[in-house]
A and B are shown apart, each in its own frame.
Chain A
Amino acid sequence: MLHSELSVKISSVQKMEAEIKTIKVTIDNITIDVAPGTTILNAARQIGGDVTPPAMCYYSKLEGSGGKCRTCLVEVAAGSTADPRPMPKLVASCRTGVMDGMIVKNITSEKVPEARAGVVEFLLLNHPLDCPICDQAGECHLQDLGYDHGKEGTRYQFARRTFKKEDIGPYIQLHMTRCILCYRCTYVADQITNKRVHGIVDRGDHAAISTYISQAIDNDFSGNMIDVCPVGALTDKTFRFKNRVWFTKPMDANRSCTTPGCCGKATLWLRGEEVFRVTARKDEWGEVQSFEGKPGWICNTCRFETKETSKWNIEGLTTISRHSVIGANKYNTLEMPKETIKKVMSGVEPKLLMDIHSVSGVNTNDIHLSELKGPAHSEDFKK
């Protein structure tokens, strides 16, 4: 009785939403039509580029995630057409729904960059910054965030918080010291694996990820926690210290996996012919890609136990963002600028820059450097 009434109510709400097809939202002066119920962050992702706020804890495939890290804070300059008042505080764009006529300021806001730099500082406060020995380096969201929005140097003069190392099973290494408490891994355990044996214990700045009495996380899908971890707190034990990600070559591959729920589509990280690591495929936001509307989680058998190329159908090279360190030196098509300097300078030859060597005596072969005793001076060339 109760449920049928509820569902009638819900369907009537859905009908109402269907009538209002799209709503307009303006982010950094770019207006876009989005479906009702979209969050500011997802609307910004539809625009793409610099307009998109960074997100460390939000994960579109994990229900309930977001709102915690505060890196995606944006300014709402006008709430909606109906109520154009600005919102008094910066809001977490990942958990704030757009309203029709909402005006959002991200990179055009005066308050946001400062608040965001503050959040980055807070996130890095107790982070060990052990990137040189961290397996996540090169694909770490905190590294990217630090470079994009952080300040150089730290104002923190105290000992950083550390945790004892804890063994959470054969496949996953927990480095609590690196954790930024995004809670993503607990959502994975809640929503993808059939039971959660780990969670957050304690509170405040001593809160930590832990398992019950160091119980091993033993589940077919536990490995996905590694993929969602934005930092190096959860790393792959079969890959640890084996290689740096930027030396490996990512290849898309698939296999027919028999584990129910496993999509069987993965990225193999090769060096030469050897598969060093298997991960789920990631999209441009660093999240696991969706296939046919379903997130492409992979099982532990695919991830940890299937490291022979013969067991996979290789599809080809993975597309990697031009800005990623993983893509360094892997692009051989160089695009030349269409305009020359001469054209830009309306026919004027760039003189000083090009001519400096032709007037310098260094380039004339009157005197050979090997004939000089001691360091060469300009005097030597004026002889």
Chain B
Amino acid sequence: MARKLLLEKAHVEGIRHYDVYRREGGYRSVEKALKMQPNDIVEEVKKSGLRGRGGAGFPTGMKWSFLAKPDGVPRYLVCNADESEPGTFKDRYLMEFIPHILIEGMIVSSYTLGSNTSYIYIRGEYDWITDILEQAIAEAKQNGWLGKNIQGSGFDCEMYVQRGAGAYICGEETALLESLEGKRGNPRIKPPFPAVKGLWGCPTVVNNVETLAAVVPIMNIGADEYAQIGIGKSTGTKLISACGNINKPGIYEIDMTISVEEFIYSDEYCGGIPNGKKLKACIPGGSSVPILPANLLLTTAKGEKRLMNYESLSDGGFASGSMMGSGGFIVLDEDQCIVRHTYSLARFYRHESCGQCSPCREGTGWMEKILLNIENGKGKISDIDLLWDIQRKIEGNTICPLGDAAAWPVAAAIRHFRDEFEWHVNNPEKCLTENFGLRHYADPVHVGV
């Protein structure tokens, strides 16, 4: 049984409320932190090896140390709770059931970064969680963990929850800041980075919910112990939201040493594929990361077992690997159509593109239309090459990573499942009623299970 750090107390009754949370050892990390120097906490987080849990996996301690600290200019901490990636729902669970762990982590982080006003920018659709968080903030304030002179330390911190208005793009940190300022959520052109010029032109750190929550166990058990969990540069525990064709969809806290195979098939985690079906493909890190066929998912191109961590999942680059991303683990069984699946993702990105820069604005819509044609048996073989060319011209040429996120799923689907696309084109009648099925993507380990 893997060690749990974030979800350890998730099933304690009433943990959502302050009294129970405090009784279970909550807010100890704040007590500890307030006695330390902010720079020492940054060093501690650096030592822990904690990496951003929002998708990019950038070392958190390093990000914090980049924060500009000009005199007389306020600094801000913003929590990115705009979790809108298809397949990712880990932050929702964390905020809904243990809201105080986020508040606690944010108080420690605010103290570390010198932010006297911190914001939680939450996805608009999570309206019931907004209430939960606001109640948690009110409880924390009543008990002296927020407001003026926190626990007699002389440090002031106010915390606010701001709801988004239903745009995926506002999960991009600079679009989030624009939206938080009350503007249209268009990503800003970088540089300057938020660490220098963020919210209202002031130095700002934007961190994911899980990242900020992970600061609590790091403070409690110490960076050294935290760094021992996991493997290589993937330290600590990671929340994975598993969904799709698995027996037990849900949120799992894993230490990053387990293999993908174990994660999918063991009863402790996903519990295998239902109805005796076989694994066809999987998106291991949320809809933006490349899809992998079963054979490349379970073993790397070198023939090693693929593990559930940052390095192993990206082993082989995009040619034969994928990314850890935000931990949205989407499993597809043999009955799923890759073309239809890719189309539905393309439709999502077309709908969510902010329309600011031309490759993403025009390219996402174009890809969606071509994919719909192929899905409906109206495609041509040249359309597949055209799709490849379009995604190549979007990737890397846009203001924000949404362009890349729209291009990668299409690229990976064509890279690994080109014959399924061609089958759709060559069998325009059949593809409306039948699925391509597995063919040679058969799960190499569990064939016939």
Q: Which residues of A contact B (CB under 8 A)?
A: 1-2, 5-6, 9, 66-70, 73, 88-90, 92, 95, 97, 114-115, 118-119, 121-123, 125-126, 155-156, 158, 161, 180-181, 183, 199-200, 202-207
Contact = CB atoms under 8 A, between A and B. Distances in A.
Given A9-B70, A70-B357, A122 B393 contact: yes
A338 B355 CA distance: 52
A92 B359 contact: no
Nearest to A88: B396
B399 A67 contact: yes
A121 B397 CA distance: 14
Given A118-B393, A204-B352, A95 B359 contact: no
30 contacts: A5-B72, A6-B70, A6-B73, A66-B189, A67-B399, A68-B399, A88-B396, A89-B396, A97-B191, A114-B393, A118-B359, A118-B397, A119-B358, A119-B359, A119-B397, A121-B393, A123-B362, A125-B362, A125-B366, A156-B366, A158-B369, A181-B356, A204-B350, A204-B353, A204-B355, A205-B353, A205-B362, A205-B365, A207-B354, A207-B355
Contacts, number: 100
A123 B386 CA distance: 17
Given A115-B393, A125-B366, 14 more contacts: A68-B356, A70-B359, A70-B397, A89-B396, A90-B397, A118-B359, A119-B358, A121-B393, A122-B361, A123-B362, A161-B365, A203-B167, A205-B355, A205-B364
A205 B167 CA distance: 15
Contact of A69 (B70, B355, B357, B386): B357
A28 B348 CA distance: 40
Nearest to B361: A205
Interface in B305-362: 350-359, 361-362
Given A2-B72, A89-B397, A90-B396, A122 B362 contact: yes
B71 interface: yes
A204 B354 contact: yes
A106 to B, nearest CB: 15
A120 to B, nearest CB: 9
A126 B355 contact: no
B409 interface: no
A69 B396 CA distance: 14
Contacts of A119: 358-359, 393, 397
B297 to A, nearest CB: 27
Interface in B228-252: none
Contacts of A67: 189, 357, 399
Contact of A95 (B184, B189, B352, B396): B189
Nearest to B398: A70
B397 A207 contact: no
Given A1-B72, A181-B355, A205 B398 contact: no
Contacts of A68: 356-358, 399
Contacts of B169: 203
A90 B169 CA distance: 22
Contacts of B358: 68-70, 119, 122-123, 180-181
Given A89-B397, A115-B393, A155-B386, A126 B362 contact: yes
Contacts of B351: 204
Contacts of A161: 365
Given A68-B358, A155-B386, A203 B72 contact: no
Contacts of A5: 71-72
A92 B358 CA distance: 12
A1 B354 CA distance: 39
Interface string B140-159: 00000000000000000000
Contact of B397 (A73, A88, A95, A181): A73
* Closest 5 A/B residue pairs (Cβ): A118-B393, A207-B355, A67-B189, A122-B362, A5-B72
B184 to A, nearest CB: 7
Contacts of B363: 122
Nearest to A186: B184
> Chain B CB within 10 Å — which of A115, A119, A181, A203 has the most?
A203
B350 A205 contact: yes
Contacts of A115: 393, 397
Contacts of B359: 70, 118-119, 122
A98 to B, nearest CB: 13
Given A1-B72, A89-B397, A90-B397, A204 B189 contact: no
B294 to A, nearest CB: 31
> Chain A CB within 10 Å — which of B71, B167, B356 has the most?
B356
A181 B357 CA distance: 8
Interface string B412-423: 000000000000
Contacts of A207: 354-355, 361
Contacts of B354: 203-204, 207
Nearest to B190: A95
A13 to B, nearest CB: 10
Nearest to A127: B362
Interface in B370-401: 386, 393, 396-399
Nearest to A2: B72
Contacts of A180: 358
B72 A6 contact: yes
Nearest to A73: B397
Contact of B184 (A70, A90, A200, A206): A200
Interface in B35-84: 70-73
A29 to B, nearest CB: 24
A122 B357 CA distance: 10
Nearest to B363: A122
A199 B186 CA distance: 13
Nearest to A206: B355
A114 B393 CA distance: 8
A9 B355 contact: no
Nearest to A115: B397
B123 to A, nearest CB: 16
